[in-house]
Amino acid sequence: MRNWLIGLLIVGFVSVLGCQPQDKNTSETQKAQKELKVAVAAPFTGNAAAFGEMIKRGAELKEKEINEAGGINGMKLTLLFEDDAGKDAEASLVAERIANNLQILAVVGHFNSSCSLAGKPIYQRAGIVELSPGSTNVTVCEGSDWTFRNLYRDDFQGKFIAQYIKKILTDLESVAVFFDNDDYGRGLRNAFVAEAERIGLNLVASEAYDRDNTDFKAQLTSIKAKGPDAIFISGLYSEAGLIVKQARETGITAQFFGADGVDSPDFLTIAGSSAEGTYLTTPFTFGAADAKAQQMAANFENLHGVAPDTWAALTYDAVGMIADALEKTYNSEASVADNRKAIRDHLASLDTPEEGYNGVTGLTYFDLNGDTVNKPAYVKIVKDGQFTAADQQLRELD
């Protein structure tokens, strides 16, 4: 009996010690080790993997800078990379996986418009923000309080391209459209055609292609028969590179014009010398950027050994916006749902220039739909095998 009593007293003593308050240093250490997790969803494999690689690198640079500066209120930012392969079916699976992971507080992504659209209802149902640094389809943000983007929409981009051709490239009198038959390609094509018809550009052909194709000579032969002065490619860099190359092999001499989906160094590799002289739009260019963006570019190159592109810069800013929201709203005592909602409410509050986020790609603030307001477009041209800012930029639209 005595041994049993002694054992009971020892257990009780140890239990009391275990319940004693931790000292301040231990508590602070645990706080410093806490992670705030954010997902980055993009096409890390598939036809758009070059975009995904730049997205990942831009995100990693911002993560590194934040954590080296002490993290977010002393807590480490941890990015979790999810591959949607640029396909809407895969994006739905990724979105479900992210939404059900209660450690993830927000999503930077997706890149492809079809992927953002696939994830939108899932994120809305779960109450978690998706902030896209690449989706431009008009409907991406519509109908959800949880979807935002930090670049322009395709109705603006399509209108911009049509007016640039009309006002700047005045010797181009007729245009054909060759478009990717997905949400991005169709939406941009529709916006371009509507504006071209409004301002009197002569549209002589409109041909669709599927993204998995590699031989475009049948459609190009049809376009060639119409004799356009210019061909607008509404699609991504991988197919655009093949289209331009095969067009030149077919004897087409028309001026090529692409949109931001062509804005990848891999376009230059795929098209080779045929890329020379191609124009394209982009939501950002380092050639027109301020000192802050130039410093980001230098840091990026030091870390990754290559220069950043548009998508690296936009992703860098998107991660920064989520981190800023976490710094201002995260509450360790609150529920996951409440912390996710606080991020959404913070982004929605950035609704004026005064409240906006000033990043390397400029000032970002949102309208009621979560679309960014007054983000400009720029034009690049391929010269001597490299992208460079076009000599003439279009500053205002009619």
What pLDDT was estimated at residue 398? 86
User: Do residues 346 and 389 lie in contact, with contact meaning Cβ atoms separated by under 8 Å?
Assistant: no
Percent of the chain residues topping a pLDDT of 70 = 91
Q: How confident is the model at residue 307 (pLDDT cuts 50, 70, 90)?
A: very high
Residue type, 183: D
pLDDT digits (tens, 9 = 90+) for 162-200: 999 999 999 999 999 999 999 999 999 999 999 999 999
Delimit the domains of the chain by residue range: 34-152+289-366, 155-282+379-389
pLDDT digits (tens, 9 = 90+) for 125-164: 999 999 999 999 999 999 999 999 999 999 999 999 999 9
What's the rounded mean pLDDT across residues 213-220?
Answer: 94
Residue 316 has pLDDT above 50, yes or no: yes
More confident residue, 101 or 20: 101
Beta-strand relationship, 362-364 and 202-209: unpaired
Per-chain mean pLDDT for the chain: 91
DSSP 102: T
Q: Which CATH number fits domain 34-152+289-366: 3.50.50.60, 3.90.550.10, 3.40.50.2300, 3.40.50.300?
A: 3.40.50.2300
> How would you list the strands of the sheet with 230-234, edge to edge?
202-209, 174-180, 230-234, 255-258, 279-282, 378-383, 386-389
Do domains 34-152+289-366 and 155-282+379-389 share one topology? The answer is yes
Checking 91-99 for CB contacts under 8 A at 24+ apart, the result is: 91/41, 91/115, 91/116, 91/118, 91/119, 92/118, 92/119, 92/122, 94/41, 94/119, 95/41, 95/119, 95/122, 95/123, 95/130, 96/122, 98/39, 98/41, 98/123, 98/128, 99/123, 99/125, 99/126, 99/128
What's the rounded mean pLDDT across residues 87-110?
Answer: 97
Out of 11-20, 240-249, 345-354, 389-398, pick the least confident: 11-20
Q: What is the pTM of this model?
A: 0.87
Percent of the chain residues topping a pLDDT of 90 = 87
Name the CATH topology of 155-282+379-389. Answer: Rossmann fold (3.40.50)
User: Do residues 388 and 396 lie in contact, with contact meaning Cβ atoms separated by under 8 Å?
Assistant: no
Helix (H) or strand (E) holding 244: helix 237-250
pLDDT digits (tens, 9 = 90+) for 242-294: 999 999 999 999 999 999 999 999 999 999 999 999 999 999 988 766 899 99
More confident residue, 288 or 386: 386
What pLDDT was estimated at residue 29? 36
